[in-house]
Structure 1
Amino acid sequence: MSGSLGPLSWGYVRRFGRVVFRQQQWKSTVSTHPKMPPCDFVPEKYKSYPYEHIQKIREQNISPSLRMYYKKPLLLHQGHMQWLFDYEGRRYLDLFAGIVTISVGHCHPKVTVATQKQLARLWHTTNIYMHPSIHEYAEKLASLFPDPLKVVFLTNSGSEANDLAMFMARLHTHNFDIISFRGSYHGCSPYTLGLTSIGPYKHGVANGFGCSTTMLPDVFRGPWGGRHCRDSPVQTLRKCSCSKGVCHANNQYIEQFKDTLNTSVPKTIAGFIAEPIQVQTGFGRTGSHFWGFQTHDVVPDIVTLAKGIGNGFPMAAVVTTKEIANSLAQNLHFNTFGGSPLACVVGAAVLDAIEEDGLQKNSRDVGTYMLLELAKLRDKFEIVGDVRGKGLMIGVEMVTDKHSRHPLPAEEINQIWEDCKDMGVLLGRGGLYNQTFRIKPPMCITKKDVDFAVEVFHTALQRHMERAAK
């Protein structure tokens, strides 16, 4: 069972139900921090409260449910494209993009200029009046969707968009039950918590009535599938009974879905909601298509959009058919801030930047390069269980060993994560056991940035092995 890690030799002992690798030979290759790529941008000098005072306010006046990353939380001051700067001027490569929200880059010049012009013209009316930006944006957004998805509802957050989508599905079908995948995230509102299927978000109070879950097709951790089953440049190492180009696991997961239909819900349901890739796909972020659902060769009845839609500005949308939209028009439905002049100008500028900067192609090219480079680390380190994704939607799942696929303990993942931050790379976290590093940078990232990030991650993994060997 001992893994082969190139020239290194490893033994193991089983202790307390988990595999602990004991290094027999190790020559440290860890040197100083990897060199960060240059950046011409110079941040302004930080002039707000001292770090300690910010911490005190956080403890006294900010809700404790808003948890922070890292042992010493970052106090960020300014951003520029793929870079973030803290209060002391330290620069970080942002590989999480504000939880996959900064699509075209922090403070992207095109988006910033458009926002400033609209701020000086008109911040807010409501949809009881017409203003040009909502009509211009709705037309631009709808043009990117296939028929018959041409009607746009603008909201302020993804949870709100999913709330509205659930409501519309129930109104239109006259049914109530909705199915989602296990492990999915669809929001934290009382309505959408029924769809969200991750334990730490469940508070033990009634929410989301009429929501059921079904098995997620997971070719790394699930019961079926393996190295021939992914639409991705990188396949899992897990052995697979499928022949190349033919995924038999697909039918087995479909049978599980049929079991859900036969046992957990009424004969007719309001809808089935699914993320094309758990958790987000973004706008052109997968590289191959603009919308994630297009990679599956389907046209949904309703599509919800948030995260990267406003590059950090709070906005979201629901796009659907005219027939379904008419179901909501039988009575009054109103959103005070959804579709404000400011939001629509921001949204339009984001779409323009994606096209003008070639960011969908960049996501494909740079994302594929990064996936392949990270796959090399998976082949070298036993604790890197899986590398998956498409374009600039990447997950790296950490395990005790590839055979058992047990999640790497939190304290070990935390230290790798902290080491990456200390060397200037910010990573996200996710997965059922918080064991997966989420890599979703601004889509303007370069191959030089990737080289730096992979070197940092490599160094952090080597340091982990040194600690484990002591």
Structure 2
Amino acid sequence: MEKKHYIGPEAIIEKKKKYIMPCLAHFYSNPQQMVKGSMQYLWDSNGKKYLDMYAGVSVMNCGHCNPEITAKIKEQVDKLQHVCNIYLTENFVNLAEKLAAVTPGDLQKSFFCSTGSEATEGALLLAEVYSGNSEIIALRQGLHGRTKLGMSVTGLTMWRTAPTPVGGIHFAPNPNCYRCPMNRKFPECDYACANAIEDLIKTATSGHPGAFIAETIQGNAGCVVPPKGYFKRVKEILEKYNTLLIIDEVQTGFARTGKLFAIENYDVVPDIMCMAKALGNGTPISAFIASSKVADTYTRPGASTLGGNPVSSEAALAVLDYIEEHKLVQNAQERGEQLRAGLRELQKKHPVIGDVRGLGLMDGAEFIHADGSEAPEILDDVLETLKDRGFIIGKNGVGRNVMAFQPPLIITKENVDDVLNAVDMVLTEKNL
């Protein structure tokens, strides 16, 4: 890598303290300054190379600075960057047409914005407009954004900046089969966590709440993967009470789970779906999409100043083309199976790994103490050591004790072998 002067981690941290609001933390006790990315690799200001197994939290699905995508972005930047979507441009309607073709079922009409939080907020607004009811059911331990309403439907206390959530929101047990909130075992439980949604509707709402919102896989809760029939049961209950199903695909969308959208693994079509992150592969763009029946009730004026701008829309079109042409759905499925199989072998050797779960390349290994309790301090130490050896791996979970693998979907069999070997070596050295 070309040598260049960078201010370095210590200077960045000092500037953060002086000029950035203190809510924004950083990863690692001894962090590095990232200065370059190329596909599945990153480099720091000292020239050290890393295998990225987190993809900027499920953003860089097609890889860092992907030349096929950045070339189209650069070409668009030289032609037209922004006029606002109150004027006619072509890219965003072509993108909307493409999304209608690749999303599940009868989802057809999109609204473009810039962040996942905006997409969630917009989806909940649309549900209220359509249903005439602002009541919402969400899942415990879900996360849906940084806006006031997005935080209010977030079932993780640490991500609620404001202590008082918006009213009219009710939380159902989340489908975590490793740490079942209802102390049941699947499949004998008969989807008790899904059935609890009907109890909530009957006892805590008007009887026909506007929407139920859920991530297909709960990312920040620790890569929580619902059992196969969960969403079908949920959909049956919601239809009985005329309640819309909003699926949040902000982390799981665009080939990550071995399907283009994670909800396709459950053979269910949502009424509204949110997407962001990987749609732009590092370019800010998000959207929510709905069936015509639902979308056509949104008639009062609405816009997002930068939503669907020509550059971000061109990036998203390039992303969808790249995913298809380079078979990233298939690679995510194959490399995910390889990764989980390898992690389960490590689980047999290392008792610190209590559970391995995931779909495609959205996978988690939960770190525990001997008594089964969460072990975030052990995970932090392991992740720091792995970083020093050139591997960037994430963490999530309610107790921040889940090693999270959400890499670029272009990773190879050799990459997966390398990271598994590195994890094994570190756990062995630490006698875990």
Q: Same fold (TM over 0.5)?
A: yes
How far has the Cα of 1:414 moved from its partner?
1.3
Relative to structure 1, the CA distance from residue 167 to residue 460 in structure 2 (aligned partners, 3 Å threshold; closer, same or farther) is same
1:455 equivalenced with 2:421 (yes/no): yes
> What is the rounded CA distance, in whole Å, between the counterparts of 2:365 and 2:200 in structure 1?
30
Aligned 1:287-326 pairs, distance under 5 A: 287=258, 289-326=259-296
Given candidates 71, 76, 81, the residue that maps to 2:34 is 76
Aligned counterpart for 1:349 among listed residues 310, 318, 331 = 318
Letter in 2 for 1:427: I
Question: What's the offset of the Cα at 1:463?
Answer: 2.5
Counterpart Cα distance in 1 of 2:398 and 2:377: 16
> Secondary structure at the residue paired with 1:153?
strand
User: CA contact under 8 A between 2:254 and 2:260: conserved in structure 1?
Assistant: yes
Report deviation, 1:295.
1.2
**Structure 2 counterparts to residues 89-100 of structure 1, below 5 A:** 89-100=47-58
Q: Rate the CA distance shift 1:317–1:378 in 2: closer, same or farther, 3 A.
A: same
Deviations 1:68-87 (A, max 9, x none): 00011220000000000000
Query: One-letter code of the match for 1:292?
Result: A
Q: Cα deviations across residues 374-411 of structure 1 (Å, max 9, x unaligned)?
A: 1101111111000000110101101113xx42101x32
In structure 2, how many angstroms separate the alpha carbons of the residues matched to 1:249 and 1:350?
A: 40
Q: 2:150 aligns with which of 192, 196, 202?
A: 192
TM-score of the superposition, structure 1-length normalised?
0.82
Matches of 1:366 and 1:147, distance apart in 2? 27
Conservation of the 8 A alpha-carbon contact between 2:137 and 2:213: yes
- Corresponding residue SS for 2:343: helix
Q: Structure 1 residue 92: deviation in Å?
A: 0.7
Q: Which amino acid aligns with 2:291?
A: T
Structure 1 residue 224, shift from structure 2 partner: 6.4
Q: Any gaps of 5 or more consecutive residues in structure 2?
A: 220-250
Corresponding residue of 2:306:
337
| Structure 2 equivalent of residue 427 of structure 1 | 393
Match of 2:200, as an amino acid?
A: T
SS for the counterpart of 1:175 is coil
Pair 1:190–1:204, CA change in 2 (3 A): closer
Is contact 2:257-2:361 (8 Å) kept?
A: yes
**Alpha-carbon distance, 1:462 to partner:** 1.5
**Partner amino acid, structure 1, of 2:421:** E
Q: Kindly indicate whether the alpha-carbon contact (under 8 Å) linking 1:218 and 1:225 is maintained by their aligned counterparts in 2.
A: no
Given that residues 151 and 161 in structure 2 are in contact (C-alpha distance below 8 angstroms), is that contact kept between their aligned partners in structure 1?
no
Task: Supply the AA of the counterpart residue of 1:248.
Answer: E
Query: Aligned partners of 1:359, 1:301: CA distance in 2, in Å?
Result: 26
Counterpart of 1:252 in structure 2 is 192
- 1:284 and 2:255 aligned: yes
Query: Do 1:46 and 1:88's aligned partners in 2 also have CA atoms closer than 8 Å?
Result: no
Q: Take 1:442 and 1:250, find their aligned partners in 2: how far apart are those partners? A: 36
Distance in structure 1 (CA, Å) of the matches to 2:253 and 2:3 = 33
**Residues 57-456 of structure 1: pairs in structure 2 closer than 5 A:** 57-222=15-180, 247-279=187-219, 280-287=251-258, 289-329=259-299, 331-401=300-370, 404-408=371-375, 410-456=376-422
Match of 1:24 in 2: none
Q: What is the one-letter code of the residue matched to 1:406?
A: S
Amino acid at match of 1:392: L
Q: 1:293 Cα shift? A: 1.2
* Counterpart AA for 2:166: G
Percent of matched pairs sharing the same residue? 32
Query: 1:189–1:103: structure 2 CA closer, same or farther, 3 Å change rule?
Result: same
* Aligned counterparts of 2:9 and 2:381: Cα–Cα separation in 1: 23
CA displacement 1:338-373 (0-9 Å, x = unmatched): 010001000000111111111111001111111100
CA distance in 2, matches of 1:251, 1:455: 37
Residues 460 and 98 of structure 1, relative CA distance in 2, 3 Å threshold: same
Aligned partners of 1:370 and 1:347: how far apart in 2? 28
Distance in 2 between the 1:441 and 1:225 partners? Answer: 32
- Bigger drift between 425-434 and 258-267 goes to 258-267
Q: Deviations over 1:162-196 (max 9, x none)?
A: 00001010111001111111111101111111111
- Measured in 2, the distance between the counterparts of 1:169 and 1:223 equals 28
Q: 1:367 & 1:212 partners in 2: Cα distance?
A: 34
SS at match of 1:114: helix
**Structure 1 residue 225: deviation in Å?**
8.7
Secondary structure of 1:274's counterpart equals strand
Give the C-alpha shift of residue 199 in structure 1.
1.5
Checking the alignment, whether the CA contact within 8 Å between 1:176 and 1:269 is kept in structure 2 is yes
Q: 1:412–1:464: 8 Å Cα contact kept in structure 2?
A: no
CA distance in 2, matches of 1:462, 1:117: 49
Aligned residue pair count: 401
- Structure 1: runs of 5+ lacking an equivalent: 1-42, 227-239
Aligned to 1:388, the other structure's residue is in SS state strand
Matches within 5 A, 1:20-35: none
Residue identity in the other structure for 2:395: R
Provide the rounded CA distance (Å) in 2 between the counterparts of 1:341 and 1:392. Answer: 30
Structure 2 letter corresponding to 1:440: Q
Shift of 1:459: 1.6
What TM-score, normalized to structure 2?
A: 0.89
What displacement does 1:50 show? 4.0
CA distance in 1, matches of 2:8, 2:398: 36
